[in-house]
Structure 1
Amino acid sequence: MKLRMIGCSHHRSGVAVRERLAFTPDQAALALEGWRVERPSNEAVLLSTCNRVEFYVASGEDDLPPCPRLMARHLADAHHVPVEEVHSELVSLRDEEVVDHLFHVAASLDSMVLGEPQILAQVKEAYDLAQKLGVAGPMTHGCFQSALRVGRRVASETALHRCRVSIPSVAIADFARRIFERFDDKRVLVVGAGEMADETLRYLTDHGAKHITIVNRDPLRAAQLASQWKGESASFSDLLDQAVRADMIISTTGAPQTVVTLEQFREKIAPRRRQRPLFILDLAMPRDFDPRIADEIGVYLYSIDDLRLACDANRSARERELPLAERIIDEEREKFFVDARHRISAPVIARLRSGLEEPKELELDRLFNKLPELDSDARDEVRRFADRLVNKMLHAPMESLRDESKSGSPRKLLDALSRLFQLKE
């Protein structure tokens, strides 16, 4: 197994670093295609969310393992960032560590909000993109499919997801409530129309929000989401005017750069608001609002990292479900490694079977030539006997390989079988 992961997350990197390395879907596609050109023998998947940027790479048994330094440089070069400026923020994992980490990510045990429901879909979307581009392969397929199974099992077999808790829900309950006692009389502006926007609207409407406006670069998507939540949509070009009217702004776009600068806020928004309180929840990565806007009078601006303390409290309340989730991960991890190690033996088993099939057919032909009086039924019975004999001869080495795969790599046993039976590549 030759797996590598390099990336950063909310655990050790601040939002300023993560937003420098964050990828939109289009940027991720370009980065993956560039990697395929540079390293055509490697498989790759790029996962980029508001809390993490992680680059997963796999190579075949006969290839050199992926180079973490080269992977880090590829991430940095995609954003024209000197790798020296971000390398110390990146975590590098290998082989079993990669699998264990990905399983925890898919199960939402590595999320800022323990049990948040969005990460599983994000992992699937990252793998689907790699598969669509032809950058995924057998190793990443097995790893990511197992990770998705882990996520689904944790969601269905534990109570981590019973009460839907996500970054938007924590933000509304723990932050917006500090500014506003009620939401039914507030004007809410949602910038962006993706899953995070939809999730945020779910909690806002549950808390009474009625006056909702959605702006998005795709006007059709904005209109569809507005209709779903009984709000209205507006043109993205009207964003600054809509911000003047709003009491709350929830921003969740995938824009690669700032959507509202400090200068725009001071010149186009602040003078017309007359210091009326404005709550801004910037859930985008990179951030949509210039963080310096937080220093303006009457503005309460929160970003992903500001949710950390509230999310830690959420984690404490849910930790009693962790042992069961960890057991599920242990089961799936063991199954994945056994299957992966057993797959290594498949080519040797195929050559071993082929090596027995050829002399079997030669001996059958010789026998049938000596016994021409045998009818077709008798010949079929003899052939079945020969097949059973070959299968019985293969049974012992195959069982030995399976047993060896359960405890570790069967490489030594495979080499011994290859030499003993003179199996050729």
Structure 2
Amino acid sequence: MTLQMIGCSHHTTAVEAREQLSFSAEQTQWALAQFAQQFEGAELVVLSTCNRVELYAAGGAFGVGIGAVPPATGTLSMEQASKALNEFVAKCLNKPTDFVSQHMTIRQGRDAIDHLFLVAASLDSMVVGEAQILSQVKQAYDSSNLADATGPITHAAFQASNRAAKRVQTETSIHRRRLSVPSVAVGEVVPEVFETLKGKRVVCCGAGEMAEETLRYLKAAGSDNICIVNRGHDRAVALGEAFGAETQPLTSLHDEIVGADLLIGTTSSEHPLVDASTFAKLNAKRAGRVLLVLDLAVPRDFDPAIGDEAGVYLYQIDDLRAACDRNRREREKQWPKAKRILDEEADRFFQSLQQRATGPIIAQLRRQAEEVKAAELQRLMDKLNGSTDTAMTKEIEKSFDRLTNKLLHPPMASLRDDAADGHSRGLLEALRHLFNLGDDQ
């Protein structure tokens, strides 16, 4: 059996179409239950995020054969499986089948596994190396487990994808290079000035999207004394409640600068919030305390001249964007290494899968050979009627063992090689017929 996938992502499908093809939590649960009813014994995992919608199916009617291994009775051909998945998605989302087939791609077998591994390792993400997708893949798998919609193939595939992604995380630096301006500012610049943010007074000017993203990184870094200074009251209060931060009107900015350890600018103001001369007077009241200023705004919130003040470390958005670009280039350098890891893990997965098909046949072949050997050895011993001593008897037994092993080695080695190639030469079925092994495994 192998894996089938139907899906679309930001690479090939516009957001307008992805929105129509996305699965809500309720639709996902309905799909998992409906799939089991419609295709008895089939497995399903539904992965639906803002950038991709993918359904992974296996088993039951989707238990197509591997190479020469015949599918179980009642299974679908590759073409039938594709058609069934298209129709199923259309049914779940109440969309025309033509619309689904136009925007969603079918992947099967090795192609589906390779794709799943790329997704889990975030090599297929809009931002290569972002960490969120692996948790989303895990959540999708866990949801299917809870709905009793998984089985041997989806268990093996998703557990293998997790192992592959973990290897990429630990053996490459592709996940350790920050790409957004706030993540670089908080994750790379702040530690150069402060050992910890705990107890440090952080003053964030602005309450828009840039401020919100910056606050997420600040909280993750342990910041526990944040003040949001903003012209608009309601937005500041809402953001403050979300992040456990204090809020002050923009008129309090001067006082906040005097008490700040970290000052962040994220507003859309057309003019600097504080001019250089005013800042110099405020800095004089700080008694030489270090102040880190992160100006993430465009236009800039702070006059560049404040960076010349004693004890002030100023980083502007161009400095941070340059760091983002360097990190992006470093991630790109790690991509080939990460892809090699995924290829190794995919090979390992398929070898394991193929061995499940060949293992019982090899065991049955060896059992049959052992039975024939034992019978012939006993017949010979009966004819010799005890005329050989113990040493000679053991030598005869060893000769029979060597003969059996030498006769079995070529077909078993060929079968293993054929399994690694996806049973492309049909040796598994040939051995069944040549040695009259039947279907009893």
Return the letter of the residue paired with 1:64. Answer: L
Report the alpha carbon displacement of residue 324 of structure 1 after superposing the two structures with TM: 0.9
Deviation of the 1:91 alpha carbon: 1.6
Change (3 A) 1:148 1:420: same
1:156-188 C-alpha deviation (Å, 9 max, x unpaired): 111111235579959999xxxxxxxx9625558
2:216 corresponds in structure 1 to 201
SS of residue paired to 1:184: strand
Q: Give the corresponding residue for 1:299.
A: none
| Match in the other structure for 1:97 | 111
The partner residue of 2:145 within 131, 135, 138 is 131
In structure 2, the CA distance between the partners of 1:357 and 1:29, relative to structure 1 (3 Å rule), is farther
1:10–1:112 Cα contact (<8 Å) kept: yes
Distance 1:338 1:110, change over 3 A: same
Correspondence for 2:344: 331
SS at match of 2:432: helix
Greater mean alpha carbon deviation, residues 41-50 or residues 101-110: 41-50
User: In the alignment, what sits opposite 1:412?
Assistant: 426
How far did residue 153 of structure 1 move? 0.8
Letter in 2 for 1:201: R
2:360 — aligned with what? 347
Give me the whole-angstrom Cα distance separating, in 2, the residues matched to 1:146 and 1:389.
Answer: 39
On the 8 A contact 1:107/1:120 being kept in 2, the answer is yes
The one-letter code of the counterpart of 2:340 is R
- Correspondent of 1:161 among 172, 175, 189: 175
Structure 1 residue 56: deviation in Å?
Answer: 1.1
- Aligned-residue offset at 1:105: 0.8
Q: Give the Cα separation in 2 of the matches to 1:168 and 1:345.
A: 53
CA contact 2:174–2:334 (8 Å) conserved in 1: yes
Residues 46 and 247 (structure 1 numbering): CA distance in 2 closer, same or farther, change over 3 Å?
Answer: closer
| 1:64 matched residue in structure 2 | 76
The answer to whether the Cα contact below 8 Å between 1:8 and 1:90 also exists between their aligned partners in 2 is yes
Counterpart CA distance in 2 for 1:167 and 1:140 is 38
Summarize the Cα distance change of 1:156–1:395 in structure 2 as closer, same or farther, 3 Å threshold: same
**Aligned partners of 1:53, 1:71: CA distance in 2, in Å?**
13
**Does the 8 A contact of 1:113 with 1:167 survive in 2?**
no
Which residue is equivalent to 2:18?
18
Give the number of the structure whose alpha-carbon radius of gyration is greater.
2
Q: 1:401 to 1:183 in 2, by over 3 A?
A: farther
User: 1:98 and 1:159 mapped to 2: Cα distance?
Assistant: 26
RMSD: 4.6
The change in CA–CA distance for 1:117 and 1:78 in structure 2 (over 3 A counts) is: same
Structure-2 residue corresponding to 1:36: 36
In structure 2, do the counterparts of structure 1 residues 424 and 198 end up closer, same or farther at CA, with 3 Å as the change threshold? Answer: farther
Residues 129-138 or 5-14, more deviating: 129-138
Q: Which residue is 2:260 aligned to?
A: none
C-alpha contact (below 8 Å) 1:45/1:135 kept by paired residues: yes
Name the residue aligned to 1:233: none
Give secondary structure in 2 for the equivalent of 1:113.
Answer: coil
Unaligned runs of 5+ in 2: 66-70, 188-201, 243-266, 269-323
Q: Is the 8 A contact 2:418 2:425 kept in 1?
A: no
Change in CA separation of 1:312 and 1:188 when aligned onto 2, cut-off 3 Å: closer
When residues 167 and 49 of structure 1 are mapped into structure 2, their CA distance, relative to the original with a 3 A threshold, is farther
For the 8 Å contact 1:351–1:424, the answer to whether it is kept is: no
Please give the per-residue CA displacement for 1:20-69, whole angstroms capped at 9, x wherever unaligned: 23234443232112111111132222111221110111233313246223
* 1:405 Cα deviation from its structure 2 partner: 2.9
- Partner of 2:33, secondary structure, is helix
Contact 1:17 1:86 in 2 (8 A): no
Q: Secondary structure at the match of 1:134?
A: coil
| Cα deviation, residue 411, structure 1 | 4.9
Q: Is this contact kept in 2: 1:108–1:115, CA < 8 A?
A: yes
After TM superposition, where is structure 1 displaced by more than 4 Å over at least 4 residues in a row?
164-173, 185-189, 197-200, 203-213, 241-245, 247-250, 311-317, 357-373, 381-393
Between Structure 1 and Structure 2, how many residues are aligned?
A: 326
The TM-score with structure 2 as length reference comes to 0.60
Question: CA offsets per residue over residues 63-113 of structure 1, 9 Å max, x none?
Answer: 324622321232232233333334311122122211111111111110011
Q: Is the contact between residue 177 and residue 328 of structure 2 (CA under 8 Å) also seen in structure 1?
A: no
Aligned-pair CA distance for 1:391? 5.6
Matched residue of 1:77: which SS?
Answer: helix
Aligned CA distance change for structure 1 residues 212 and 33 (closer, same or farther; 3 Å) = farther
- Mapping of 1:6-405 within 5 angstroms? 6-58=6-58, 59-60=62-63, 61=65, 62=71, 63-65=75-77, 67-165=81-179, 169=183, 184-186=204-206, 201-203=216-218, 245-246=237-238, 315-316=328-329, 318-359=331-372, 393-405=407-419
Identity across matched positions, percent: 41
Matched residues in 1 for 2:180 and 2:130: separation?
5
Q: In 2, are the aligned partners of 1:187 and 1:211 still within 8 Å (CA)?
A: no
Q: Secondary structure at the match of 2:45?
A: strand
Secondary structure of the equivalent of 2:3? strand
